[in-house]
Amino acid sequence: MELRNSDFIKLANIIKAKYGLNLTEKKYLVESRLTNYVLDCGFDDFGEYFETVYADHTGIEMTNIISRLTTNYTYFMRESEHFRHFTEVFLPDAEKRISDGDLRIWSAGCSYGNEPYNFAMCLYEYFGSRIDSWDSRILATDISFNALRMAKQGIFTEQALQELPDDWERKYFNRHVNGTYQVKDEIRSNVVFKYHNLMEPISFKKKFDLIVCRNVMIYFDEPTKEDLVDRFYDATEPGGYLYIGHAEAAPKNMRYEFIQPAILRKPMKEDGSDE
């Protein structure tokens, strides 16, 4: 089934405005990922299908499209330097700074959950039996309902666990009879999965000590990325961190302080000092 240029341009513009994703060079990807779905929905023409999508004011059909067009590639221990920093720098520092036990971490663009689960496992490793004196639930958000559904289940193949330290399979997963591994309940209940579109205002009640947004902004153009990093800054506690992907350049005029590649920090004081 052929996707006409005019239909493609209209869809690409809507998706860019609503979700920040730049599909301009990806006509073939859109065509290949949507063809079977559109046929299954009973349409034999993209144009006709899109008209029903645009007429659907509930927005549900658009979320079905977006679940098919997002790239959800992720894996455990991805960019492992972040996990080292988290355990050796972030957590010891947070423990000193935070007196009420309320640690706030957000995995923004969490895909299938490998990322937030991986940080949750690091929390358990670090705190050990002290974990109960912390409210360390991780907020994990995405725009793909399909990815969120799978993330909530927390079921992974044996191969997916390979990069994790050897004893983590035993500590943090239950093996099912069919050979898959499910993240144990205590870790799963420490991660709260929610739909959130990063193009929309960040209106969570409290600020975050750590925002992890890795390999999401690569799909955004420069102004969209600058605006998002600016809003992340406002949603970060003084002294808190933002982890971004190593392939993503931080915006030039950002207010975060550069700590090391892919690790940014909000100074303790607005004048940029740490005193």
Ligand X SMILES: C[S@@+](CC[C@H](N)C(=O)[O-])C[C@H]1O[C@@H](n2cnc3c(N)ncnc32)[C@H](O)[C@@H]1O
- Which H/E stretch holds residue 11? helix 5-19
Which of 8, 11, 19, 250 is in the footprint of ligand X by CB under 6 A?
Answer: 19
Q: Can you tell me the distance from the alpha carbon of 263 to that of 165, in angstroms, rounded to the nearest whole number?
A: 23
**Residue in 241, 99, 125 with CA at minimum distance from that of residue 187:** 125
Residues of this chain, 94-113, that bind ligand X according to CB under 6 A: 109, 111
Which of 143, 155, 187, 229 is in the footprint of ligand X by CB under 6 A?
Answer: 143
The amino acid present at 152, given as its one-letter code, is K
Please, are residues 137 and 102 in contact by the beta-carbon 8 Å criterion? no
Q: Is residue 224 part of the contact set for ligand X (CB under 6 A)?
A: no
Q: Is residue 34 part of the contact set for ligand X (CB under 6 A)?
A: no
**Residue in 28, 12, 32, 10 with CA at minimum distance from that of residue 20:** 12
Give the range of 47-55, 163-171, 210-218, 248-256 binding ligand X by CB under 6 A: 210-218
Which of 63, 197, 207, 249 is in the footprint of ligand X by CB under 6 A?
Answer: 197
Q: Is residue 139 part of the contact set for ligand X (CB under 6 A)?
A: no
Give the range of 19-27, 37-45, 84-92, 168-176 binding ligand X by CB under 6 A: 19-27
Q: Can you tell me the distance from the alpha carbon of 122 to that of 128, in angstroms, rounded to the nearest whole number?
A: 10
Binding mask 108-137 for ligand X (x = CB under 6 A): -x-x---x----------------------
**Residue 67 or 134: which CB sits closer to ligand X?**
67
DSSP-based three-state secondary structure for 41: coil
Q: Can you tell me the distance from the alpha carbon of 137 to that of 238, in angstroms, rounded to the nearest whole number?
A: 20
- Which residues are at the interface with ligand X (CB under 6 A)? 19-21, 70-74, 78, 109, 111, 115, 142-144, 147, 197-199, 214-216, 219
